[in-house]
Amino acid sequence: MSNITVAQCLQRASELESVSDSARLDIELILCHILQKNRTWLFTWPDKTLTSDQQTMFDDFFQRRKNGEPIAHIIGQREFWSLPLSVNNSTLIPRPDTELLVETTLELFANDAPAQQRRCLDLGTGTGAIVLALASEKPHWQLLGVDYSADAVALAEKNRRALEFGHVSILQSNWFSAVPAQLFDVIVSNPPYIDPQDCHLEQGDVRFEPRSALVAGNHGLADIELIIRDGWNYVAEGGWLLLEHGYDQGEAVRRLLHARGFIAVETRRDFGGNERVSLGKKKEQS
């Protein structure tokens, strides 16, 4: 049987529509990875044929995607904040909605002088997506990303090295347990916040992601409660705490921030109009 062309591969997108909302893009990303070409090349050379090895790899990747495996796990990469990040099944796949956490943080410090130094802590860093995105915008900041999972720490460090961000440190820590005693101008976190009984855990990409990075007790609020409670002691006066959370948790998170003493508490909405990031400021003492 003759080898298939790029165009023939792309035509198989319809077979993925039952498992993917972006079937055509999935095929394009698989081809770009296998052929080591960009998407423009695919459209320019649709009649190019795959080698036997490339076709075997395509068939394998295609079947894995058809079985529901996330495209990011298949090709081992996901872009976040325009940064290419290695990903694997040890942690969450970075999602576009989480960029709101980065955008909001940068907005809070928009009036800083260009060379202003700040200290930033990212709790539950996973791939390192948040801390590395902030590092790409703030070369004068000192940033620390921590995660409980040794595999996640290794992955975040791999991404840090690939991006050559010398002003970022990655550390294994169960939340604040191994964080050096210091005060941070901003603490950010995308912690586990899904209720263990949530039916969505059996749907889509999350089936392939570690439950420990997804679920939390007390209807998904347990880790958020801990971060707000203990985080108070690590936020500098005038500093900020920002948390990503579930679409229906905004009111509860605002209440927790207020109860701990944070001021200027508010919630920002994601691209879908859902409450997604809540934040509070530690008041400066007069």
Quick check: is 1 in a domain? Answer: no
Domain end (from 30, 48, 75):
75
Give the C-alpha separation, 44 to 61, whole Å. Answer: 23
Domain end (from 24, 51, 75):
75
Quick check: is 286 in a domain? Answer: no
Looking at residue 103, what is its pLDDT? 96
Write down how long the chain is: 286
Across the strands, what pairs with 243? 189, 278
Looking at residue 70, what is its pLDDT? 86
Across the strands, what pairs with 37? none
201, 95: one domain: yes
Question: Which of 109, 102, 108, 162 shows the shortest CA–CA distance to 134?
Answer: 102
Q: Which three-class secondary structure state does DSSP give residue 262? A: coil
185, 97: one domain: yes
Which segments within 224-286 are labelled E, that is strand? 235-244, 263-269, 275-281
195, 268: one domain: yes
Quick check: is 80 in a domain? Answer: no
Quick check: is 228 in a domain? Answer: yes
Q: Number of folded domains in the chain? A: 2
167, 196: one domain: yes
The DSSP result for 113-151, as a single string, is -TT---EEEEES-TTTHHHHHHHHH-TTSEEEEEES-HH
Domain end (from 75, 102, 132):
75
31, 62: one domain: yes
Per-residue pLDDT of the chain (286 residues; tens, 9 = 90+): 457 889 989 988 888 888 888 888 899 999 999 998 888 898 888 888 889 899 999 999 999 998 888 888 888 888 999 999 999 888 888 888 999 999 999 999 999 988 899 999 999 999 999 999 999 999 999 999 999 999 999 999 999 999 999 999 999 999 999 999 899 999 999 998 776 666 566 666 666 666 666 666 777 788 999 999 999 999 999 999 999 998 999 999 999 999 999 999 999 999 889 999 999 999 887 6
Give the CATH number for residue 162: 3.40.50.150
pTM: 0.87
25, 138: one domain: no
Quick check: is 253 in a domain? Answer: yes
10, 34: one domain: yes
Looking at residue 3, what is its pLDDT? 79
CA angle 270, 100, 33 (to 5 degrees): 100
Q: Which range of residues forms the domain containing residue 174?
A: 89-281
Q: From residue 159, give the alpha-carbon distance in Å to each of 86, 90, 163.
A: 6, 14, 6
Give the CATH number for residue 55: 1.10.8.10
17, 100: one domain: no
Across the strands, what pairs with 146? 123, 171
152, 44: one domain: no
258, 203: one domain: yes
Could you tell me if 34 and 48 are in contact, meaning their C-beta atoms sit under 8 angstroms apart?
no
Quick check: is 229 in a domain? Answer: yes
